[in-house]
Chain A
Amino acid sequence: MPNAVQDAPVDERTSPAEPRQASRTLRYLTLAVTALLLLGVGWTAATLTSGRTPGETSAEAGFARDMSRHHAQAVEMAMVAYAKGQNPEIRQIGYDIALTQQAQIGQMQRWLQEWDLMPTGSRPAMEWMSDDVQPRDDGLMPGMATREEIAQLHEAQGAEVDQLVIKLMINHHLGGIHMVDGVLKVSDRPEVVRMAKAMKAGQQKEINELRKLQQASG
């Protein structure tokens, strides 16, 4: 190869047409390379911005994790309502809330998997909320029942179950809606926005139903 290169130029250099052709080739090459370069820059920029999934400290991840835990307590209370409620309507609403919120937990956990994030976050609960609503001293998020209230619910019998379910679930839903508003304020992820809006509408409707039951029972 080196020899061939060495020998060849002598002949070609004598022809003026060759260099011109070479320079054209070079220009095309330069053009092609420039195009590639721009393509590369564009692709990189696109990858780094729009295509990116929510990260470890994002509001979306915080919402998915915290709302999963928030929902888990609603499921717990709703299952007690379903099992022990005196009024059939309380049992019915308990059944509805438990199944709906458990399914929503599953969907939120699926987001985390798709975003390559662990179910358990590295940041404190509620840190993602922009309005500085911090969990209470006992670490509970807005609207969550205390351990004592949950214990009381488990021990309750008859009409007392209904009263406690109504009171605790209305509070729980109000806290949940507050968190939904928090994520809607900052997120434009379609799956998150869609789910958050549906949660808000659903829980608002259930609050209304629970209030009706509350009034009916005096």
Chain B
Amino acid sequence: MSISTPGGPQRRPTVVSTGKKPAAGRPAADAKATGTKAGSGKPATPQRSGGGGKGPRKPITPVKVSQGRSWGPIALFVAVGVLATSIIGYGAWAAIRGSQSWEDKAADIQGIVNFRETDPESVSNSEHRAGKQEYKQSPPVGGPHNNTWQRCLGDVYDAPIAAEHALHSMEHGAVWLTYRPDLPAADVEKLASVIRNNDFMLMSPYEGLDKAVSIQAWGYQLKVDSADDPRIKEFATTLAQNASVEPGATCSAGNYTTGTGTEPRELQPSMGG
């Protein structure tokens, strides 16, 4: 009601009484009111502001229409507006959230290095080769590797393993968590709690690491100074299986090893190759 002009309060009663009924009562009131206004030389502004809510009605009875009738429609329009906005908003939010791929989530992890983008060459070769291999990164994130993969059913190895085997696991989608061998046992246990019993994860100590912990998947790596860093788990859960370059390849059965020691083992005849 505050929309009305200063003179409104006096006029309103008449408008309300007639205006509650449909349009029929209105014209008279309109004529009076506008007549007064026009006569008093009041500018058109109040008229327009009064009828401003609804375009179509403006030309007809700008002031009265708004005073007598607008609240219902206004409330309705506001309600519809709010509803429409929330529906569209929810839709947009759901769409954006739903479309956030694991790659987007990975990119959001602070400090992660995506070698698939920064150094595609070092992850492009995935040949199977026997014996020790040289890698550009330490620990490696891609490149030629052994025919046999390291079992990665949440395996926690307490001694260093061959990167040539771990890399094959990573090609299958595993996340390999490595830590400096001099890390306190309590820290190692914290790391193990991230890995243990999770499919497509494995961990082992790693000699010569430049940071306390390095976690890697095929083409991705994150190095951090503390075993408490929450990004370790974020990396593990975001990239495990998702980062596979052979979707559907396993961590479990087939030609794998569970042995430790950094010298790659060649084909295990008992597993039938």
A interface residues with partner B (beta carbon < 8 Å) = 2, 5-6, 8-9, 12-14, 16, 18-20, 22-23, 25-26, 29-30, 33-34, 36-37, 40-41, 43-44, 47, 68-69, 72-73, 75-76, 78-80, 82-84, 98, 102, 106, 109, 116, 118-122, 125, 135, 138-140, 151, 154
Contact = CB atoms under 8 A, between A and B. Distances in A.
Contact of B197 (A2, A80, A98, A139): A139
A13 B98 contact: no
Interface string B243-254: 000001011111
B79 A9 contact: no
Nearest to A22: B60
Give the secondary structure class of A's interface.
helix
A73 B154 CA distance: 11
A122 B230 CA distance: 13
A155 B267 CA distance: 16
A80 B54 CA distance: 77
A81 to B, nearest CB: 10
Given A120-B200, A120-B236, 13 more contacts: A8-B59, A22-B56, A23-B23, A30-B72, A33-B80, A68-B199, A69-B154, A72-B153, A75-B250, A79-B271, A106-B248, A120-B240, A125-B197
A118 B242 contact: yes
Given A120-B241, A139-B196, A29 B73 contact: yes
Interface string B86-103: 110010000001100010
Nearest to B52: A5
B234 to A, nearest CB: 10
A34 B34 contact: no
A40 to B, nearest CB: 5
Interface string B172-194: 00000000000000000000000
Contacts of B248: 106
Interface in B138-178: 153-154
Nearest to A77: B253
Contact of A116 (B72, B98, B153, B258): B98
Contact of A26 (B27, B48, B69, B153): B69
A109 B200 CA distance: 13
Interface string B56-93: 11111110010001001100110110011011001000
A213 to B, nearest CB: 21
19 contacts: A8-B59, A9-B58, A12-B59, A19-B30, A19-B60, A20-B24, A23-B22, A23-B26, A37-B76, A40-B80, A44-B86, A69-B153, A69-B199, A72-B251, A79-B271, A118-B238, A119-B200, A120-B198, A135-B197
A72 B252 contact: yes
A12 B60 contact: yes
A30 B253 contact: no
A161 B130 CA distance: 30
B61 A9 contact: yes
A40 B24 CA distance: 33
Contact of A6 (B44, B65, B236): B44
